[in-house]
Amino acid sequence: MPKFFGFRSFRYFHSLFFAGNRLRPVSSAGNLAVLLSLWGLAALGAGVPATDLRLAPEKPQAIYQPGERILWHLQALGTNATFAKAKYFFKQGGGTIINQGEALFENRSATIETRLLEPGTILAEVAATDTEGKIHTALAGAAVAPDKIPVSSPCPSDFDSFWQAKLAELATVPVHPVLTSEPSDKAAVAYWQLSMNNIRGTRIRGQLARPQAGRKFPALLIVQWAGVYPLKKNWATDRAAEGWLVLNIMAHDQPINEPAAFYEKLSQGALTNYTALGNDDREQSYFLRMYLSCYRAVEYLAARADWNGRTLIVSGTSQGGLQSLVTAGLNSKVTGLMALVPAGCDDSGDLMGRKPGWPYWIANAGGHDLKKVRETALYFDGVNFAARIHCPALVGLGLIDTTSPPSGVFAAINQIKGPREVIVLPEANHHGDNKTHTAFLKRESAWREALLKGDPAPLLPKGKGGA
């Protein structure tokens, strides 16, 4: 390992090539090549990557057609950074290097050209050393005919029968909801903790909130991103204050409001790398219980006397985006979904040279039989649930997201049967640094406002902000 590789550098490379709270193995030779090349560049200089470099495709929306020339503009920012050249890599689907080389700067800028002959996405990565020996890096992305990006593996022929059998198993388990009223953080909102039965002796844990005044409300199910953490009360009460009947459920069978140390212990113990638990057996996968929790949560909301009987939305980010696709695909009572950077889409993307995203079924196989892991992953892949979605869908994705790579998210979106609005975020990574998720959040707010009033989903026409 190069001498420069200290803690701050580790955090930087972790953000590029890993995801979540734990280290995950590099899943493609392309990523490894880029990582090693960046290490080599950094070893020549002071070490810590800086940020005085910007890379962007010529088109602001970064959407192209097959064979179309894509110009990328590379620019030195600020007044102190001076570069002679930069090393660049273009990776199709974020996984396969299709072009690499050196760009020469002239007047603090450089132009790079590439193209893609078929539908797909491109992740561009550059690194340059300034005159002081500091490493500067930048990422950019583009999509080529994104509405035609295919899935990488066919859906299992028994996908529907498998999930129907799991829903039948769930139906044999009495719901037995337990509501515990607690003080609300908002005067006009009622708040409860909720738990109810799930399969095989497990429980669903969450929080329920609704306006104090009124009798019937549209319902909103909020599902959570990855990790092990408590649920914040305002995640439910903020939406309830708008007028929603809100159920926010935890992804795990764990209490929702313990001290931080409780969840940290779980993260380092029983739930360390929980996504790999049972990943070679569809009957034992950790996601089986999680997905059925979402289904039952919808059933619970739909059975409540204070639901208005018309509007039932599911919303989530990352792992929550995956659960949103799953829930809408499994339960026809869902009337709309909103998913930001959904994870778990096109888990076998590496078969087509793409970078698969979280939860990294293949890279996370460990000592399990890889063939069985691949087979199991298909029953939990977001693309196969998306193909069963008929309600309106709002989906946002980032073109430099390496946790939920855009190629897989586009592949899932293209399977949705209902009307959809796609918000492409050209400069967004998974976490939306520098407010790069803002365009989606504004559209999500507009959808909630319309759906709350009972209006149809306010879909933007294609090309008016979506793809």
Residues forming CATH 2.60.40.2470 domain(s) in the chain: 7-148
Reference 38, options 140, 113, 138; nearest CA is 138
Query: What secondary structure letter does DSSP report for 404?
Result: S
Residue 113: φ, ψ to 5°: -125, 140
Output the pLDDT for position 158: 98
Reference 363, options 9, 31, 33; nearest CA is 31
CB burial of residue 309 (10 Å; 0-12, 13-18, 19+): exposed
Tokens of 81: 């950074």
User: In whole angstroms, what is the distance from residue 330 CA to residue 167 CA?
Assistant: 9
Output the pLDDT for position 49: 57
C-alpha dihedral over 183, 189, 193, 195, to 10 degrees? 160
Contact 44, 129 (CB under 8 A): yes
Q: Is the bond preceding residue 359 a cis peptide, omega within 30 degrees? A: yes
Q: Count other C-beta atoms under 10 Å from residue 36's C-beta.
A: 12
Output the pLDDT for position 52: 87
Output the pLDDT for position 51: 64
Output the pLDDT for position 8: 28
User: In whole angstroms, what is the distance from residue 226 CA to residue 116 CA?
Assistant: 33
CB burial of residue 8 (10 Å; 0-12, 13-18, 19+): exposed
Output the pLDDT for position 461: 78
Beta bridge partners of 423: 396, 466
**String of DSSP letters for 283-317:** TT-HHHHHHHHHHHHHHHHHHSTTEEEEEEEEEEE
User: In whole angstroms, what is the distance from residue 74 CA to residue 145 CA?
Assistant: 24
Question: For 159-452, which CATH class?
Answer: alpha beta
CATH 2.60.40.2470 correct for 7-148? yes
Strand 85-92 to strand 96-104: parallel, antiparallel, or no bridges (unpaired)?
antiparallel
Residues forming CATH 3.40.50.1820 domain(s) in the chain: 159-452
Tokens of 55: 């890379």
* Distance (Å) of CA 130 to CA 2, 46, 110, 248, 249: 19, 10, 14, 48, 48
Output the pLDDT for position 20: 30
* Distance (Å) of CA 342 to CA 159, 276, 359, 396, 438: 21, 18, 11, 8, 16
Find the distance separating the first CA and the last CA of the chain, reported in whole Å.
42
Reference 386, options 149, 199, 95; nearest CA is 149
DSSP-based three-state secondary structure for 165: helix
Output the pLDDT for position 13: 31
Buried-state track 367-378, b at ≥16 Cβ within 10 A, e below 16:
ebeeeebbbbbb
Reference 94, options 150, 158, 26; nearest CA is 26
Contact 49, 137 (CB under 8 A): yes
Beta bridge partners of 55: 74
Output the pLDDT for position 6: 29
User: In whole angstroms, what is the distance from residue 372 CA to residue 368 CA?
Assistant: 8
**String of DSSP letters for 408-436:** HHHHHHTT--S-EEEEEETT--TT-GGGT
Query: What secondary structure letter does DSSP report for 391?
Result: S
Query: What secondary structure letter does DSSP report for 49?
Result: -
Please give the biggest Cα pair distance in the chain: 70
**Average pLDDT per 10 consecutive residues for the chain, totaling 467 residues:** 27 31 30 35 38 92 98 89 92 97 94 97 95 91 98 98 98 98 97 98 98 98 98 98 98 98 97 96 98 98 98 98 98 98 97 96 92 98 98 98 98 98 98 97 98 96 57
Tokens of 1: 């390992």
